[in-house]
Chain A
Amino acid sequence: MDMKVGKKKLGLKEKYQHMTRGLGWETTYQSMDDVFPFVKYEGIKIHDWDKWEDPFRLTMDAYWKYQAEKERKLYAIIDAYAQNNGHLNVTDARYLNAIKLFLNGISPLEYMAHRGFAMTGRQFPGVGARVACLMQSLDEIRHAQTQIHSLSNYNKYYNGFHDYRHMLERVWYLSVPRSFFDDAVTAGPFEFMVAIGFSFEYVLTNLLFVPFVSGAAYNGDMGTMTFGFSAQSDEARHMTLGLEVIKFVLEQDPDNLPIVQQWIDKWTWRGYRVLTLVGMMMDYMLPKRIMSWKEAWEVYFEENGGALFKDLARYGIRPPKWLDQIEQDKDHISHQAWATFYNYAAACNFHTWIPTDDELDWLSQKYPNSFDKYYRPRLEHWREEAKKGNRFYNKTLPMLCQTCQIPMIFTEPGDPTQICYREVDYKDNKYHFCSDGCKEIFEHEPEKYIQAWLPVHQIYQGNCFEEGVDPTAEGFDPLSAVLDYYHLAQGRDNLDFEGSEDQKNFEAWRGMATKNAA
């Protein structure tokens, strides 16, 4: 898209500058404070929005052109994948559970990102900042939809995908990712940008999209690989936006530093907790593994994040709080999470299992400091019990952390045999936390976090039964009633992978394919 002014051909930077030049204006018929009502209440001081530097300079015509090309490619693959029964190419049917988690837990966040960036884009008075946010808003609805469209084909054949929108707002573990994003969009525009644009996009999404999606490819899932990398191709823009926001805000006023630092601490911790799910997906749910969670963490968080925070030190930013604990945790959290979902497999819309011997050996090798000592014996014990017909299903509801909403499954820093509990008394109530990080986040904004819709509390308060259900009726089975409220198809969506309908169908369908080829 060449462009000229008069006879002179313009360079990219110049061209983009003209395209946005002076588009915005100081309003006079309405006050700027009324037009941009949310831009001051967080205490961030911006003196000159024109100092905003656009890292990528994409005009709308170029945007449409390149994005259309991505979409054409992506949907061609989705169509071919569906027509050719591509789902039968995955390494084994256990893998499907990882993408159930994806559709249920992650795709709805893409949609929330879309709305959140629209809010932020609307509220920022600067032209460059608004354009970047709105472009990201548009990208994020893309991500939500390409994921829904890709995974729609799996839903036709496998369980656990079928009512993801209903489940998102109800099922216990889904409140973890959901409350994370609710937290971000209910914050002001600057905090949202630090939360999602910076902490999540820049520091954490590589962990989700790069090694996990590459793992999907390795497991024969070209569908997920395609939408995953296709979404990620927008991410370079998003990440640079996240970084630009931080630099811009810090350069505008020295008073912004402590506010931003507190947000970075909070949101790195919040995001890190959500990623526990991804750790478990990588270590347990990909039948063929490329990289352990710990290795991915070292590359994408410690190495890249380290470089990033070294770069930001010139603004006075220090690395996020609680890094010492995070450093120890990388040996543990994926195992602790898998054990939890194994326990609560009756109340989940995906299946869990005990890894095979080969897989256990792989984990032993990848986690020499922790796996054999703390986690392998327990898994082997459960396997023995299952063989005897006692597959362990935990029916006691867990206590949840008031902030991250994960059950209290994490251990004390320095002692992997002690569950970590923290509590705070606030206005006649006691609140519980999984960690110092979650406790401190609560203490900073208790009025926000006491509102949390905690799934376990809600069950005990009787808010999680279908209309017309009578909990006082004889033979009332509360767990079953809750699962009905979740729209969970009992015996199909839940329980162990071994013996599941997905397992049987996949085997039968694959059998048909091999026979036909003979």
Chain B
Amino acid sequence: MQMDLRTVTIKPQRQTFDHIARRIGADKAATRYQEGTLEVQATHNFHYRPTWDPDHEIFDASRSAIKMADWYAFKDPRQFYYGAYTLARAKQQETAESNFDFVEGRGLADTLPAELTDTVLKLLLPLRHAAWGGNMNAAFITAYGYGTALTQPCIFHSMDMLGIAQYITRVGLLLGDDVEVLDTAKQSWMEDSAWQGLRRYVEDCFVLKDPLEVFVAQMVALDGLLYPLVYETIIDNVLSSKGGTPIAMLTQFMTDWFAETRKWVDATVKTAAAESAENKTQMETWITHWRDRAAAALMPIAQIALGAEADAITSEVVDQFNARMAKAGVSL
């Protein structure tokens, strides 16, 4: 039997699943982001309470002080579901790969002024531990947050942080000639006074219990100050002007990643704060608290590259951060 199925025009019985149609209307086809995100997480009739947290359901909105009438009010402006996310990152890793090839192939690492190489190793390498902490904090929200709209970007974020830790490792191994640079950096992370503020900050995040507070501490405050300060300002501007352009090439992934990810972070802050006066107050309290701590923790690190200028440049970054938050509806 010959069949030409392409020529058959059949009227669909329905455009999408009912739980999506109840939100967007039954007459519209849904996007892959919508079908892969909306209400995917279970909400009702759980069978057992967690043995590790009997006071809550498996997924439980009351783990957070932030209250939402609808947890799917959160939206990722990038519309990342797994496929879209992976394709975006695959493209970025291709760029990163050719950047590494370029720098390695031309021996550009050897052409860097020794002083600059030293600064980069001191500044950048301990940050692999901070990224590892970010991986853990994002995993926490993925695990215990409420609603796929919020938790899904967090698993992406978590793995991005691991990717960043690995890119930093590669930079270190490329510049440092020996794997011992990793051990040295870890020692700084554990013991050098310049790093203790940041390490304490990260460890304090590890024991937070509210997924939205972790979001504020990690994605909003820490990422929101660290990436503009270290990657956009110190590496892309200050060090590049001193002959460090190859370094900026090797960390392009981080710069691009932050420019993209902050859109999701801003949207999330905005949605949470716009929900109610209580949420807004809570967000403001958290953001103020963690911003101040993050800025203080980053200052001695900025000094590694900026010396006396660290103060002024950090406060500029904080000003930009405040402006960014104001746009998201949070006045600090």
Q: Interface on A for B, CB 8 Å cutoff? A: 1, 3-6, 18-19, 21-25, 27-30, 34-35, 37-38, 41, 59-61, 63-65, 67-69, 71-72, 74-75, 83-86, 88-89, 108, 111-112, 114-115, 118-119, 121-122, 127, 130-131, 134-135, 137-138, 141-142, 144-146, 148-149, 152, 155-159, 161-166, 168-170, 175, 178-179, 182-183, 185-188, 448-449, 451-453, 458, 487, 505, 509-510, 512-514, 516-518
Task: Using CB atoms, name the residue of chain B closest to A144.
Answer: B40
Assembled-state Cα–Cα distance A147/B173 (Å): 40
Cβ-defined contact, A4 with B104, below 8 A: yes
Is B82 an interface position by the 8 A CB rule? yes
Is B27 an interface position by the 8 A CB rule? no
Contact of B4 among A5, A65, A517 (CB under 8 A): A517
Cβ-defined contact, B203 with A38, below 8 A: no
Cβ-defined contact, A169 with B45, below 8 A: yes
Number of cross-chain contacts by CB at 8 Å? 276
The secondary-structure label for the interface of chain A is: helix
Q: In the assembled complex, which residues on chain A have CB atoms less than 8 Å from the CB atom of B64? A: none
Assembled-state Cα–Cα distance A121/B19 (Å): 30
Is B237 an interface position by the 8 A CB rule? no
Assembled-state Cα–Cα distance A88/B4 (Å): 10
Q: In the assembled complex, which residues on chain B have CB atoms less than 8 Å from the CB atom of A24? A: 132
Assembled-state Cα–Cα distance A389/B144 (Å): 53
Cβ-defined contact, B13 with A85, below 8 A: no
- Return B57 CB to nearest CB of chain A, in Å: 10
The 0/1 profile, CB within 8 Å of A marked 1, for residues 79-111 of chain B is 001110011011111101100000010000000
Q: In the assembled complex, which residues on chain A have CB atoms less than 8 Å from the CB atom of B49? A: 186, 451
12 A/B residue pairs, CB under 8 Å, sorted by A:
A22-B183, A23-B132, A35-B203, A35-B206, A64-B89, A115-B142, A119-B143, A145-B32, A149-B83, A162-B14, A458-B45, A505-B13
Task: Using CB atoms, name the residue of chain B closest to A87.
Answer: B5
Cβ-defined contact, B3 with A30, below 8 A: no
Q: Decide yes or no: A145 and B81 within 8 Å by CB, A30-B206, A514-B1 being known contacts.
A: yes
Contact of B204 among A6, A23, A29 (CB under 8 A): A29
Is B16 an interface position by the 8 A CB rule? yes
Task: Using CB atoms, name the residue of chain B closest to A66.
Answer: B90
Q: In the assembled complex, which residues on chain A have CB atoms less than 8 Å from the CB atom of B241? A: none
Task: Using CB atoms, name the residue of chain B closest to A24.
Answer: B132
Q: Decide yes or no: A68 and B17 within 8 Å by CB, A83-B6, A157-B10 being known contacts.
A: no
Cβ-defined contact, A18 with B173, below 8 A: yes
- Return B322 CB to nearest CB of chain A, in Å: 27
Q: In the assembled complex, which residues on chain A have CB atoms less than 8 Å from the CB atom of B158? A: 118, 134
Cβ-defined contact, B136 with A513, below 8 A: no
The 0/1 profile, CB within 8 Å of A marked 1, for residues 35-54 of chain B is 11001111111111111100
- Return A43 CB to nearest CB of chain B, in Å: 12
- Return A47 CB to nearest CB of chain B, in Å: 21
Is B189 an interface position by the 8 A CB rule? yes
Q: Decide yes or no: A187 and B42 within 8 Å by CB, A65-B90, A122-B136, A134-B162 being known contacts.
A: no
Assembled-state Cα–Cα distance A487/B44 (Å): 15
Cβ-defined contact, B142 with A162, below 8 A: no
Cβ-defined contact, A186 with B186, below 8 A: no
Q: Decide yes or no: A118 and B86 within 8 Å by CB, A5-B178, A138-B155, A514-B3 being known contacts.
A: no
Is B139 an interface position by the 8 A CB rule? yes
Is B170 an interface position by the 8 A CB rule? yes
Contact of B200 among A29, A130, A164 (CB under 8 A): A29
Interface size on B, residues (CB 8 A): 93
Q: Decide yes or no: A448 and B155 within 8 Å by CB, A61-B96, A510-B3, A517-B3 being known contacts.
A: no
Q: Which of B166-185 contact A (CB under 8 A)?
A: 166-167, 169-170, 173-174, 176-179, 182-183
Is B128 an interface position by the 8 A CB rule? yes
Cβ-defined contact, A155 with B206, below 8 A: no
The 0/1 profile, CB within 8 Å of A marked 1, for residues 125-167 of chain B is 0001100100110011011100010011001101110110111
Cβ-defined contact, B46 with A22, below 8 A: no
Is B277 an interface position by the 8 A CB rule? no
Q: In the assembled complex, which residues on chain A have CB atoms less than 8 Å from the CB atom of B5? A: 84-86, 88-89, 513
Cβ-defined contact, A179 with B47, below 8 A: yes
Q: In the assembled complex, which residues on chain A have CB atoms less than 8 Å from the CB atom of B278? A: none
Cβ-defined contact, A148 with B35, below 8 A: yes
- Return A161 CB to nearest CB of chain B, in Å: 7
- Return B99 CB to nearest CB of chain A, in Å: 12
Is B207 an interface position by the 8 A CB rule? yes
Is B119 an interface position by the 8 A CB rule? no
Q: In the assembled complex, which residues on chain A have CB atoms less than 8 Å from the CB atom of B199? A: 29
Cβ-defined contact, B82 with A142, below 8 A: yes
Task: Using CB atoms, name the residue of chain B closest to A149.
Answer: B32
Contact of B173 among A5, A83, A159 (CB under 8 A): A5
Known: A25-B190, A118-B158, A514-B2. 19 other contacts (CB 8 A): A3-B173, A5-B178, A6-B173, A18-B169, A23-B129, A60-B162, A61-B167, A67-B86, A68-B91, A71-B87, A118-B151, A122-B139, A134-B139, A142-B83, A145-B83, A149-B32, A157-B10, A512-B8, A518-B2
